Amino acid sequence: MSGTRSGLGRVHPLHAFAFELSKVWEEAPAPYERLADRLEIPQQRVEDFFDGSATPSPVELALLLYALHPYVTIPEIAAWQTCLKFAQALATATRYDGDPIKEFLQILRPLEEEDARKRPPVLSGFTRLPHEWSGLPTHALLSRFLSTVFTEEWRRAPWMRAHSFARELQAADAREREVDDPGNTARSWATELGSFQPGMRAAQSEIAYSDEAMKQQQAAQQLPPSTTPLTIFISDERKHATVESAVSEWLDVQGREIAYEGTPILGSWWKTLLTRLKKEAEDHLDDGISLTGRVAGLYGLDTRQAEVNQKEAEAFAKVMEALADVDSAIIHHGTLLVVKHAGTVVRRELSQLEVEALRRNPILTTRPDIILTELQRHTQELATTDEARALPSQHNVG
């Protein structure tokens, strides 16, 4: 493979890497000062590793992982180091002279071999995961396989992220070869490239989705705990204005407003937002706490609440009307999940485990066809791990 140039300045792959690394720290939050002592580097540099301001060297990365989780394995460290290498290649204009597909398969092979050793004798023997056009396993197949190896999501993260990076490096190489090859060679390559385009777009979209989800979560950290994530997906981007208008009216009736608005990803249409209570709604709630007991009987509080509920129902009905001409859609707001697919609309109130599973797997909100089954699987996996402790409590608005 010839060298590749970065085509991902808008995606910030090093920030995406730092985001994954920060989830390792969240699993066992150690004082930065202690980590700095273990690595023999300034404390500020350690902090910068977790927000993308600085990038660890391969040695620093290995020592950091050992300091956070002493039981981390050699294959895991190799996966993290490869993921970092790919991110650095995508984030800079320097050429990447390696073969990202081969390198990814090298970090995957120890897990495949270990999986083969665990099988019953009748099923023994090493076999690789099936590969798609790119030479890599599909995203879905890789995710299912890693789930059988590691119960904790953060331990699967370096392979999943490296998989996305490897596909983007391959796509960048294809673009470079198309530009560099003149005459018939270029036309021949363009023909070959045509069969690769769906996979390239999938790789680029997957990273873009993850990047937007990361920005949403970072914005949430800077806002009050009452802030609630909102994600909208529709299969036809031409209908987004109508849907956004209906959702905005629905939020207004609830006394909420947009606090953060991400950049929509087109093709279909997917957008992340954050909502919060309007100031006057917060003041009303504060007053209500102290006056409820005195005024409920005098002013017909139950009647007024029924009127509010009726207005919310009518506003939500308009959201459903806006989705009538859309083949597939997802709206996720706090504990509310609405999925439309194949003519069927499902509305569900999510548990805190399900909300957390969606937070950790935001790309599911782009897949109306599989979100309900995959959410169930991810939630079951989360429930069996220590990660189910101390889940966020701010996602309580629907």
Q: Which tens digit of pLDDT belongs to each residue from 57-67?
A: 999 999 999 99
* CA-to-CA separations, 338 to 110, 348, 368, in angstroms, rounded: 40, 6, 9
The β-bridge partners of 349 are 336
Q: Please report, for the chain, the start and end positions of each structural domain, with discontinuous segments joined by +.
A: 13-218, 223-388
Going through the chain in order, the beta strands assigned E by DSSP cover: 228-234, 256-261, 265-266, 269-277, 329-333, 336-341, 344-349
How far is it, in rounded angstroms, from Cα 391 to Cα 297?
38
Structure tokens at 325: 């001409």
Q: In this structure, are strands 269-277 and 265-266 parallel, antiparallel, or unpaired?
A: antiparallel
pLDDT in the model for residue 192: 39
Nearest to 165 by CA among 367, 15, 65: 15
pLDDT in the model for residue 3: 34
The β-bridge partners of 265 are 270
pLDDT in the model for residue 112: 81
CB 328 within 8 A of CB 293: no
Nearest to 235 by CA among 104, 125, 329, 141: 329
389 half-sphere exposure, CB direction, 13 A CA radius: 7
Q: In this structure, are strands 228-234 and 329-333 parallel, antiparallel, or unpaired?
A: antiparallel
Buried b (16+ CB within 10 A) or exposed e, 66-102: ebbbeebeebbbbbbbbbbbbbbbbbeeeebeebbbe
How far is it, in rounded angstroms, from Cα 227 to Cα 334?
9
pLDDT in the model for residue 178: 57
CB atoms within 10 A of CB 2: 10
pTM, rounded to two decimals: 0.52
Buried b (16+ CB within 10 A) or exposed e, 19-57: bbbbebbebeeeebeebbeebebeeebbeebbebebbbe
DSSP-based three-state secondary structure for 36: helix
Cα-based torsion angle of the residue sequence 170, 174, 180, 182 in order, rounded to the nearest 10 degrees: 150
The angle subtended at Cα 372 by Cα 370 and Cα 378, nearest 5°, is 95
pLDDT in the model for residue 41: 95
DSSP-based three-state secondary structure for 297: helix
| Residue ranges for the chain with pLDDT beneath 50 | 1-11, 120-127, 182-201, 203, 285, 288-299, 301, 393-396
